[in-house]
Amino acid sequence: MRSMDRYLDDRLRAQLNEAFQPLDRDVEMLVYTAGRLVVPGQEPAGEEQATLALLREVADTSERLSVVERSLGADPDARARGIVRTPTIVLRERGSDRDNVRFIGLPAGYEFQTLVEALRMIGSGDSGLGEESAAQVAGIDQPVRLQAFVTPTCPYCPRAVLSTYRLALANPHVVAEGVEASEFPALAQRYRISGVPDTIIDGPAGQERVLGGQPDRVFVEAVLKVAGAAA
């Protein structure tokens, strides 16, 4: 994907410009980086500079997109919200304080598709989640966290991550994170990730696991179960 000092060639830039033309909302890509923060026992930072460079090139393809860098150490509330690794990308409508749609690591390879589709969902205000499922997810009043473990070489992974994003866009209590497993191997090992996509779903009523790129409904039912809500 990279050519000389650029990640996006002219052809891909033109394709992105066309893809983002329908956006009617401004979208912010907030990137948490480590700065000088050193946390004993914490995994080292991932591909921070590559992530920033890639996102800035993506933002250059549309006036609707922007990139903001924030030091994790300068945001004392981030850890309480579960943002503990860098780079963590928060995707949200500009001006919003929501931070529940996230990608941890460099969205390269097939995960570049995840980034583009997520920007289109947020920028259009249409996640594509069906009305019935959206209404059920919107009724959740307990915190639920989905971590979709992926790798850049997996063609089925974007489907899983985007399913989790659709649920997070329906309810701020739902946190969805795509996690680049090869960039954060200790985290992947903690959950015994042996293949991708593999989504770990935690809530007050327990933990569920969704293997593969399943239909949205499978993720909805798992989220409702861990939230202690009726499907």
| Rg of the chain on CA atoms, in Å | 17
Residue 43, pLDDT score: 65
Residue 91, pLDDT score: 98
Q: What is the pLDDT along the chain (231 residues), one digit of tens a residue?
A: 444 468 999 999 999 999 999 999 999 999 999 965 555 555 677 899 999 999 999 999 999 999 999 999 888 899 899 999 999 999 999 999 999 999 999 999 999 999 999 999 999 999 999 999 999 999 999 999 999 999 999 999 999 999 999 999 999 999 999 999 999 999 999 999 999 999 999 999 999 999 999 999 999 999 999 999 866
Residue 4, pLDDT score: 43
Residue 36, pLDDT score: 57
Residue 1, pLDDT score: 44
Residue 109, pLDDT score: 96
Instruction: Kindly report, residue by residue over 37-69, the tens digit of the pLDDT.
Output: 555 555 677 899 999 999 999 999 999 999 999
Instruction: Kindly report, residue by residue over 117-152, the tens digit of the pLDDT.
Output: 999 999 999 999 999 999 999 999 999 999 999 999
DSSP class per residue in the chain: --BTTBSS-HHHHHHHHHHTTT--S-EEEEEEE-TT---TTSPPP-SHHHHHHHHHHHHTT-TTEEEEEEEGGG-TTTGGGT--SSSEEEEEETT-----EEEES---TTHHHHHHHHHHHHHHT-----HHHHHHHHT--S-EEEEEEE-TT-TTHHHHHHHHHHHHHH-TTEEEEEEETTTSHHHHHHTT--SSSEEEEEETTEEEEEESS--HHHHHHHHHHHHT---
